[in-house]
Amino acid sequence: MSDMKIKIMHLYPDLLNLYGDRGNIECLKRRLIWRGIDAEVVSHTCDDSGFDLSDVDILFLGGGSDREQKIVCSRLLEHKAEISGFAENGGSIVAVCGGYQLLGRYYKLEDETIEGLGILDIYTEQGSKRLIGNIVLESELAGGYIVGFENHGGRTHIGSHKPLGKVVYGHGNDETSGAEGVVYKNVVATYLHGPLLPKNPKLCDHILKNALIRKYGGGVELAPLDDELENKANEYIVNRFVKK
């Protein structure tokens, strides 16, 4: 065991909890522990008072329905300064779907607008049909393909932000731009739900490495893991939808 440790905070797991997004936290934790690095996971729910990010390394925000996003937005806005300070200081944030939208300026629904944290200079508008299905991206961050599943009514416009990847199959941020997600400092925001990190171990390691470097300095190297099964699962999806 090294003396390194990473603390992961799951934000509002009581509301933002679609499609087992929390499995991504298990993946982050496991890939640290397999390398002898300690990992602690804490949750901050709607019932918790106090909010302290001072020793947190990775924040995770999952997806949620419009209804849940409306409830959670006021809670998030109470901590706007801390969360944006954390992001600006190189803190790692992983945000999925509804969580991704809430990092932006707003999410406009037919009858109301949900205010976001404004950490990303992006906005989301509800479209006429939901964008649902398998999705494959090309991403330099993952050194190849990122595979996943998307299900969103919102269309996110990312302006001059850098996307997580280029859509090679599926819909992505807004159906038309061919971009998916956003990468900003150590923030990775994406529409890809469910087992994003188990299916894309290189992306998981990218996030872990950033968090370790922020905490322990530039010399940190991640020991290789046996990702044969993970890579096969990733390749299977790429072959099914892209290299037919």
State yes or no: residue 63 binds ligand GLN (CB under 6 A): yes
69 is a site residue for ligand GLN (CB under 6 A): yes
Nearer to ligand GLN, 110 or 221 (CB): 110
Q: Taking CB under 6 A as the rule, does residue 158 contact ligand GLN?
A: no
Interface residue with ligand GLN, options 152, 161, 202, 206 (CB under 6 A): 152
Candidates 180, 165, 189; CA nearest to 59 is 189
Taking CB under 6 A as the criterion, the residue among 65, 74, 89, 239 binding ligand GLN is 65
Q: Which stretch binds ligand GLN (CB under 6 A): 33-41, 148-156, 182-190, 201-209?
A: 148-156
> Is residue 171 a contact residue for ligand GLN (CB under 6 A)?
no
**How far is residue 213's CA from residue 235's CA, in Å, rounded to a whole number?**
29
Binding mask 4-33 for ligand GLN (x = CB under 6 A): --------------x---------------
**Residue closest to ligand GLN (Cβ):** 63
Q: Which amino acid is at 190?
A: T
d(CA 67, CA 79): 20
Active-site residue 171, yes or no? Answer: no
Selected from 8, 64, 184, 205, the binder of ligand GLN by CB under 6 A is 64
CB of 154 vs ligand GLN, minimal distance in Å:
3
| Residue 181 engages ligand GLN in binding (rule: CB under 6 A) | no
Residue 154 contacts ligand GLN per CB under 6 A? yes
∠215-20-197 over CA atoms, to 5°?
45
- Given the residues 27, 97, 161, 171, the one annotated as active site: 97
The tokens 């019932």 sit on which residue? 47
91 vs 57: CA distance, rounded Å? 6
Residue 229, burial from CB neighbour count under 10 angstroms (0-12, 13-18, 19+): exposed
Residue 172 touches ligand GLN, criterion: CB under 6 A: no
**Sequence letter at residue 55:** D
Calculate the alpha carbon distances from 150 to 153, 184, 189, 196 in Å.
Answer: 10, 21, 13, 10
β-bridge pairing 38-44 and 5-11:
parallel
Indicate if 193 belongs to the active site: yes
What Å distances lie between residue 14 and 36, 43, 104, 134, 137, CA to CA? 30, 9, 21, 26, 30
Which span (152-160, 176-184, 200-208, 212-220) binds ligand GLN, by CB under 6 A? Answer: 152-160
- Catalytic residue, from 27, 193, 204, 206: name it: 193
Task: Give the catalytic positions in this structure.
Answer: 97, 193
Residues that bind ligand GLN in the complex, under the rule CB under 6 A: 18, 63-66, 69, 97-98, 101, 151-154
